[in-house]
Structure 1
Amino acid sequence: MPARIISIGTALPETSAPQPDLRAFFAGQPGADRLTRRLIGGAFDASGIETRHTVLEGLAGSPDGVFIAEDGTLLSPTTGVRNDLYRSAAPPLAATAARDALTRGAVAADQITHVITVSCTGFFAPGLDYHLVRDLGLSEDVERTHLGFMGCSAALPALRLASQIAEGRPRAVVLVVCLELCSLHVRETSDPEQVVAASVFADGAAAALVTAGDIPGDPGGLVLDRFATALTREGESDMSWTIGDHGFQMTLSAEVPRIIGREIRDAVDRFLGDDPPPGIWAVHPGGRSVLDRVETGLGLEPAALHASRAVLRDCGNMSSATILFILRRLLEDPAVEGPIAALAFGPGLTVESALMHRKR
């Protein structure tokens, strides 16, 4: 039997920040000259985002003395300090998303046979996979795999691996958890690429349960038909993610949407082959311009990207977790029928694709 996603759970940090407030915060930093303020205003206003969530309470007006000074100035803690906060904040948020998936799928913790974790915004060991076993009360012989530092596209390779495990072991139930705390790497900057990154990235976690067997719980879900990976002919230097002394440094150039717009048709045509294009798409919203380029490049109807635009609007770009937020909306929408294509873009530029369909 083909593997299927039987449920998706999500979790967001308690602190939410309206996009206009974040724009005002960054534009009000002491080092922001008139040109930088114009860049910030343009990037934040064009993002397609209304609200983002963060583990940094200071971004919502509660100075913490680590990231935000009492006078509202953005501080520059070391990478070690940032990673310490990741280590404390990541496990509970990941566990919340996983519990949500278990509840929605009517699956007991002792039914989980494999755990796959995904993250690119922090490191520690024993890591998220270990803590999920402990926090959820999973069996100690659960097989664990971590996919690290693959960027925004990593959820689809994780689902691909889960599908391969499930189809090879019909009694397997795989828990996939994507956790990203992008706001931990916020910085004051006048670099246009860093301004764009600051305007879109956010925090969140999502979890999916994947199986190919008949287990107790919901018999429906999203059947995972096939996957594909492609590298664009250019873009290696336009989207990258490196570790600096004061946080991880995201390069996200203005060329990214244009590269996607130029090359997406060829990548999708090779992926779909002779299959007709689906009417519903789950596209990772790197930003509103990325969705616009995909819509134009593939000749999609506006309704095809409704869920992608809604998640961008309500949550921002949560890196790898974002595509699972989109798929959850589609999974829970009773009007969704037929094939669904998923696309996510990562450093390189890498294009990850998945084709699935709804099972009742």
Structure 2
Amino acid sequence: MTGQLSTIAVSPTMEPAYSPGLTGSGPAAKILGIATATPPNSYSQAELIDIFGVTDERIRSVFLNSAIERRSLTLPERAPDGTMHQESQGELLRKHRSTAIDMGSRAISAVLGRTGYDLDDVGYLTCVTTTGFLTPGLSARIIAELGLSVHTSRLDVVGMGCNAGLNGLNAVAGWARAHPGRVAVMLCVEACSAAYVFDGTMRTSVVNSLFGDGAAAVAIRAVPYDEPEVAEPGVTGPEVLKFASCLIPDAIDAMRYDWDDEAGKFSFYLDRDVPYVVGAHAELIVNRLLTGTGLRRSDIAHWIVHSGGKKVIDSVAVNLGLTRHDVRHTVTVLRDYGNLSSGSFLFSLRRLLDEGVVVPGDLGVLMTMGPGSTIETALVRY
């Protein structure tokens, strides 16, 4: 199965780059490269209005004023009467499995190829997804599909939502630091078209107007202290220095994925106040992330914020005092792909690295948000 594939390789610096108060003990985990993959079919919002059979002008407006131009989706064939086939929950789960394995395998193969590593070099694999449930998990399926070592340590992060990419990165970075010199891979793969319900309501239409299918893989390695320094050309990938989390219990049901009795399948729900709840807590969590580092917000050169939607991006930017330039990659990923859930921030980070403006030593903040309601952050140094 073919589709869009995009990669960028970033060269690891060979210095320990340990800073007291930031990385703790041991060498810092470093991002070596990022690769992304999507399904073969991409649709404009206008095309999707037709495919979904949207006639309500209010819902049409939601699609056309979403700041999204195109999304990659895996959609069923149309029924004989021209309407879209209504997939059962079983069909959706099978689509999640096949689409996730396809996109995920391509993304992992690409990131290893571009960073010069082989499948046998991978010692740890974390797979992050929310758009379907598998037992055995996606990590086992990917290991079998790609032929990774059967001794690969693995973790499946399931059901945490759009914030989960940074939860997974925390685990992968911790494993890499505990095993200097070995390669760890995180895969965020979301078949959001396997989580759609079409009932004509505003609730489901908001979801159907926003999310897209996509996968992003990142390779991480901690450089042993005794490894000789090797000069590498170009901009290096960031070291992962620190994480901070914030759960907002008062908004625990504001974003949820639960069973819809009428539809007979799982359905995602987004509260209209989500952007404002997230924005109101953005400053709190960033201040916590920087506590003890001696850094101020003005020291952060690059911001990568989850492409959660136009209102979410605007709310976070206003509350943190970010400019349109600061969130340019967040905005363009939303425009070109929609909300890709857990992998969105890696699509944006890849664009930043590809842009060629990062200066070694620059500091950055990665921010994701999702059900809980939860905000996750990471401090990185390029």
The structure in which a higher percent of residues are helix is: 1
| Residue of structure 2 equivalent to 1:221 | 237
Structure 1: 5+ residue runs without aligned partners? Answer: 59-63
Matches within 5 A, 1:243-262: 243-244=259-260, 246-262=264-280
Distance apart, 1:324 and its partner CA: 1.2
Q: State the AA in 1 paired with 2:320.
A: L
1:172 to 179, 182, 190: 182
| Residue of structure 2 equivalent to 1:2 | 28
Question: Conserved in 2, the CA contact under 8 Å of 1:121 and 1:248?
Answer: no
Question: Conserved in 1, the CA contact under 8 Å of 2:244 and 2:288?
Answer: no
- Using structure 1 for the length normalisation, give the TM-score: 0.90
Q: Equivalents in 2 of 1:194, 1:269: separation in Å?
A: 35
Distance apart, 1:115 and its partner CA: 0.7
* SS of equivalent to 2:326: helix
Q: Are 2:367 and 1:343 equivalent residues in the alignment?
A: yes
* SS of equivalent to 1:104: helix
Q: Equivalents in 1 of 2:172, 2:102: separation in Å?
A: 23
Distance 1:235 1:39, change over 3 A: farther
Q: Equivalents in 1 of 2:237, 2:319: separation in Å?
A: 29
Distance apart, 1:331 and its partner CA: 2.4
Q: Equivalents in 2 of 1:258, 1:341: separation in Å?
A: 20
Q: State the AA in 2 paired with 1:248.
A: F
Question: Conserved in 2, the CA contact under 8 Å of 1:152 and 1:319?
Answer: yes
Q: State the AA in 1 paired with 2:239.
A: V
Distance 1:93 1:218, change over 3 A: farther
| Residue of structure 2 equivalent to 1:129 | 139
Count of residue pairs brought into register by the alignment: 342
* SS of equivalent to 2:176: helix
Aligned-CA RMSD value: 2.0
Matches within 5 A, 1:52-67: 52-56=71-75, 58=76, 64=77
1:196 to 206, 226, 235: 206
Question: Conserved in 2, the CA contact under 8 Å of 1:222 and 1:331?
Answer: no
* SS of equivalent to 2:215: strand
- Using structure 2 for the length normalisation, give the TM-score: 0.85
Q: Are 2:42 and 1:16 equivalent residues in the alignment?
A: yes
Distance apart, 1:24 and its partner CA: 3.4
Q: Equivalents in 1 of 2:231, 2:111: separation in Å?
A: 12
Question: Conserved in 2, the CA contact under 8 Å of 1:193 and 1:254?
Answer: no
Q: Which whole-Å deviations, capped at 9, do the CAs of 1:108-148 have from their partners, x for residues lacking one?
A: 11111011111111122333212322332322211111111
Matches within 5 A, 1:80-95: 80-95=90-105
Q: Give the stretch that moved more between structures: 298-307 or 166-175.
A: 166-175
Question: Conserved in 2, the CA contact under 8 Å of 1:91 and 1:132?
Answer: yes
Q: Which whole-Å deviations, capped at 9, do the CAs of 1:77-136 have from their partners, x for residues lacking one?
A: 321121122222221211001011111211111111011111111122333212322332
Q: Are 2:377 and 1:357 equivalent residues in the alignment?
A: no
Distance apart, 1:300 and its partner CA: 0.7
Question: Conserved in 2, the CA contact under 8 Å of 1:179 and 1:205?
Answer: yes
Task: Give the share of equivalent positions with the same residue, in percent.
Answer: 33
Q: Are 2:162 and 1:138 equivalent residues in the alignment?
A: no
Q: Are 2:295 and 1:263 equivalent residues in the alignment?
A: no
Q: Which whole-Å deviations, capped at 9, do the CAs of 1:183-237 have from their partners, x for residues lacking one?
A: 1222223432322111110101110001102689996311101111101253212
Structure 2: 5+ residue runs without aligned partners? Answer: 1-26
Distance apart, 1:247 and its partner CA: 3.3
Q: Are 2:62 and 1:43 equivalent residues in the alignment?
A: yes
Q: Are 2:295 and 1:275 equivalent residues in the alignment?
A: yes
Distance 1:22 1:339, change over 3 A: same
